[in-house]
């Protein structure tokens, strides 16, 4: 048994870890006795307990060597702007293959260390959700292996229920072996970015609410200072961008290129002490970050790594929170309830919840996935260090606000919500469970998240 934890390192458990290199490996695991079920794991970037399985099997598909088997294949169809991608392929590997061919992934989250399987299971979203939707919106077909070994082909028009139960289904319906995804054509590796400072959260809401402008940017996201109060409450830095034109790159004095050069400059050691990220250091950081941003909208050209995956530049950045780890709180509330987000921020401030990183974004419409998180509205994602005293009391109060406003929480980030919060946030949960039972009648797939929130098992 090996200790496995989520990216936030606040929850962990012991499991039989199995590195899956091929479909045969998967079949071998499934044919064995697994009284505590099997959890599918990619690169372990879900923050909470979605990819851990106390006492059971954790099948890792995230580190398959390229070219070994189907699970790590990438096949680009240039004329149809599509690619067939294996389950274990990461966004980084995709970009390495796609960009020199003049394409970009349809959706990327804030890290490039996410596998295709994880992207489907969590139905990930990125800075382009308001214009392009989720990862699941860009899948034309996928092959999924069910727990009894059968492989089925799912598309949005064929086996619709099974398709949408798997998109966002947290790996609890079957193993996504490979998927065919849409690609975004690009002419170079740069993004034209407009950066602007906003002095108050209301200003941010006003600017981002103007959808005619916001929608003219494919990518849009704001960093928010969770610690600032009064006139500067929720001040932030809004960055919006589009894939740069060749002319823009020339104007910037650069030569257009399609090369992809991800870089990792620093690493955080495993012995990083507790308490370094505290109210004082975070306040200082936020002040610098805010002052660094231009006071008036400024246009620059940035490479994709800096724009999409800045935190990946620091290896093991999750260790900065020390041994107790951290939680990420991510919720979404309807567009007309932006006041609720302000209340939530105030509640966090009152409870002295220090947040190093808070991100605000306007999301576009939801897709048909019953467990898919995004819906039209405002999403706020906040990193919270564990150890701040009243978390177990404050978070449920905040959950209540989110639910009362008609919002919900992201399962790939969650490590605290209650079953009733889940049920009220996802009105189609019952339908998802029914489809799941069709796809996995023996309840082979599970996870600590699934147990905690009764997505599977007893009391269904």
Partner 1 sequence: MKNGTGAVGTIVLFGGTSELGISTVAHLLTPTVQNIVLVSRDIEKAQTVEDDLIKRSPQADITHIRFDGADAESMYAVVEEIVSAVGDIDVAIIAHALLGNDIDGYSNPSSVKALLDVNVTATMALMFALAAQMRLQRHGRIALFSSVAGVRVRKANAPYGASKAAIDAFALALDHDLQGSGASVVVIRPGFVHTKMTSGMKVAPFATNAHVVGERAARGISEGQTVVWVPGIMRFIFGVFAVLPRSVWRRLPVHD
Q: Considering beta carbons, is residue 6 or 425 the nearer one to partner 1?
A: 6
393 binding partner 1? (CB under 8 A): yes
395 binding partner 1? (CB under 8 A): yes
Are 375 and 332 within 8 A, CB to CB?
A: yes
∠ Cα 408 218 75 (to 5°): 95
∠ Cα 159 88 166 (to 5°): 25
Q: 114: closest CA among 38, 48, 41?
A: 41
Tell me the three state secondary structure of residue 266: strand
Structure tokens at 303: 């490479």
Q: How far is the CB of 222 from partner 1 (least distance, A)?
A: 26
Which position among 24, 28, 32, 55 is part of the footprint of partner 1 (CB under 8 A)? 55
Structure tokens at 305: 């790594």
34 binding partner 1? (CB under 8 A): no
Which position among 266, 280, 288, 458 is part of the footprint of partner 1 (CB under 8 A)? 458
Are 445 and 172 within 8 A, CB to CB?
A: yes
- 151-180 residues near partner 1, rule: CB under 8 A: none
Q: Considering beta carbons, is residue 91 or 385 the nearer one to partner 1?
A: 385
Q: Considering beta carbons, is residue 280 or 458 the nearer one to partner 1?
A: 458
Binding range to partner 1, per CB under 8 A, among 107-115, 164-172, 394-402, 431-439: 394-402
**Rounded CA separation 332/408 (Å):** 6
Q: Considering beta carbons, is residue 14 or 300 the nearer one to partner 1?
A: 14
Tally Cβ neighbours within 10 Å of residue 160: 12
Binding range to partner 1, per CB under 8 A, among 116-124, 195-203, 370-378, 395-403: 395-403
Which position among 41, 49, 128, 432 is part of the footprint of partner 1 (CB under 8 A)? 49
Binding range to partner 1, per CB under 8 A, among 85-93, 153-161, 169-177, 386-394: 386-394
Q: Specify the length of the chain in residues.
A: 460
Question: Residues 323-342: x/- map of binding to partner 1 (CB under 8 A)?
Answer: --x-x---------------
48 binding partner 1? (CB under 8 A): yes
Which position among 10, 122, 348, 380 is part of the footprint of partner 1 (CB under 8 A)? 10
312 binding partner 1? (CB under 8 A): no
Cα radius of gyration rounded to whole Å, the chain: 21
418 binding partner 1? (CB under 8 A): yes
444 binding partner 1? (CB under 8 A): no
Q: Is 256 exposed, middle or buried (0-12, 13-18, 19+ CB in 10 A)?
A: middle
Which position among 73, 92, 225, 448 is part of the footprint of partner 1 (CB under 8 A)? 448
59 binding partner 1? (CB under 8 A): no
Q: Which residue spans within 227-354 are E strands per DSSP?
A: 236-243, 266-267, 298-303, 314-315, 326-333
Binding range to partner 1, per CB under 8 A, among 13-21, 68-76, 239-247, 274-282: 13-21
Are 238 and 195 within 8 A, CB to CB?
A: yes
Q: Considering beta carbons, is residue 114 or 398 the nearer one to partner 1?
A: 398
Q: How far apart are the first and last CA of the chain?
A: 29
Q: How far is the CB of 387 from partner 1 (least distance, A)?
A: 10
Structure tokens at 75: 């096949």
452 binding partner 1? (CB under 8 A): yes
Which position among 39, 46, 54, 93 is part of the footprint of partner 1 (CB under 8 A)? 54
Q: Considering beta carbons, is residue 42 or 325 the nearer one to partner 1?
A: 325
Structure tokens at 172: 């609890």
∠ Cα 181 183 184 (to 5°): 150
Dihedral sign for Cα 415, 421, 427, 429, please: positive
355 binding partner 1? (CB under 8 A): no
13 binding partner 1? (CB under 8 A): yes
Dihedral sign for Cα 86, 306, 132, 427, please: positive
Q: 178: closest CA among 223, 120, 222, 217?
A: 120
429 binding partner 1? (CB under 8 A): no
**What does the binding site for partner 1 look like in residue numbers (CB under 8 A)?**
1, 6, 8, 10-11, 13-15, 35-36, 48-49, 54-55, 325, 327, 386, 391-393, 395-397, 399, 415-420, 448, 451-452, 454, 457-459
């Amino acid at each position: 048994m090996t200790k496995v934890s989520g990216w936030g390192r606040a929850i962990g458990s012991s499991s039989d870890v199995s590195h899956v290199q091929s479909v045969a490996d998967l079949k071998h695991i499934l044919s064995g006795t697994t009284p505590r079920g099997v959890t599918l794991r990619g690169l372990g970037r879900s923050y909470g307990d979605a990819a851990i399985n106390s006492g059971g099997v954790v099948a890792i598909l995230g580190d398959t060597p390229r070219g070994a088997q189907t699970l790590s294949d990438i096949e680009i169809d240039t004329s149809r702007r599509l690619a067939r991608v294996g389950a274990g392929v990461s966004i980084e590997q995709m970009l390495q293959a796609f960009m020199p061919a003049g394409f970009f992934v349809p959706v990327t989250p804030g890290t490039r260390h996410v596998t295709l399987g994880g992207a489907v299971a969590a139905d990930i979203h990125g800075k382009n959700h308001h214009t392009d939707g989720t990862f699941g919106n860009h899948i034309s077909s996928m092959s999924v292996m069910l727990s009894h070994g059968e492989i089925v082909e799912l598309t949005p028009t064929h086996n619709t229920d099974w398709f949408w139960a798997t998109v966002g289904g947290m790996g609890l319906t079957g193993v996504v072996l490979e998927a065919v995804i849409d690609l975004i054509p690009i002419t170079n590796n740069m993004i034209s970015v407009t950066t602007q400072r906003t002095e108050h959260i209301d200003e941010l809401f006003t600017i981002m609410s103007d959808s005619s402008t916001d929608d003219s940017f494919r990518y849009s996201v704001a960093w928010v200072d969770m610690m600032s109060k009064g006139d500067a409450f929720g001040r932030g830095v809004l960055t919006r961008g589009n894939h740069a034109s060749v002319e823009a790159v020339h104007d910037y004095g650069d030569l257009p290129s399609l090369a992809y050069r991800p870089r990792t400059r620093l690493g955080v050691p495993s012995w990083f002490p507790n308490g370094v990220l505290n109210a004082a250091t975070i306040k200082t950081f936020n002040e610098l970050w805010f002052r660094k941003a231009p006071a008036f909208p400024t246009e620059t050209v940035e490479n994709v790594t800096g724009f999409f995956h800045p935190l990946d530049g620091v290896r093991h950045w999750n260790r900065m929170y020390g041994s107790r780890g951290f939680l990420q709180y991510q919720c979404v509330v309807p567009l007309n309830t932006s006041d609720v987000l302000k209340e939530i921020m105030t509640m966090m401030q009152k409870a002295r919840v220090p947040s190093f990183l808070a991100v605000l974004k306007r999301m576009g419409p939801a897709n048909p996935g019953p467990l898919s998180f995004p819906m039209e509205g405002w999403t706020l994602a906040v990193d919270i260090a564990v150890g701040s005293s009243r978390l177990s009391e404050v978070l449920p109060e905040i959950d209540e606000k989110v639910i009362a406003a008609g919002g919900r929480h992201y399962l790939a980030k969650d490590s605290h919500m209650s079953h009733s919060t889940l049920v009220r946030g996802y009105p189609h949960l019952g339908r998802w469970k029914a489809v799941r039972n069709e796809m996995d009648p023996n309840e082979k797939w599970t996870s600590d998240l699934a147990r905690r929130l009764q997505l599977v098992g007893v009391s269904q």
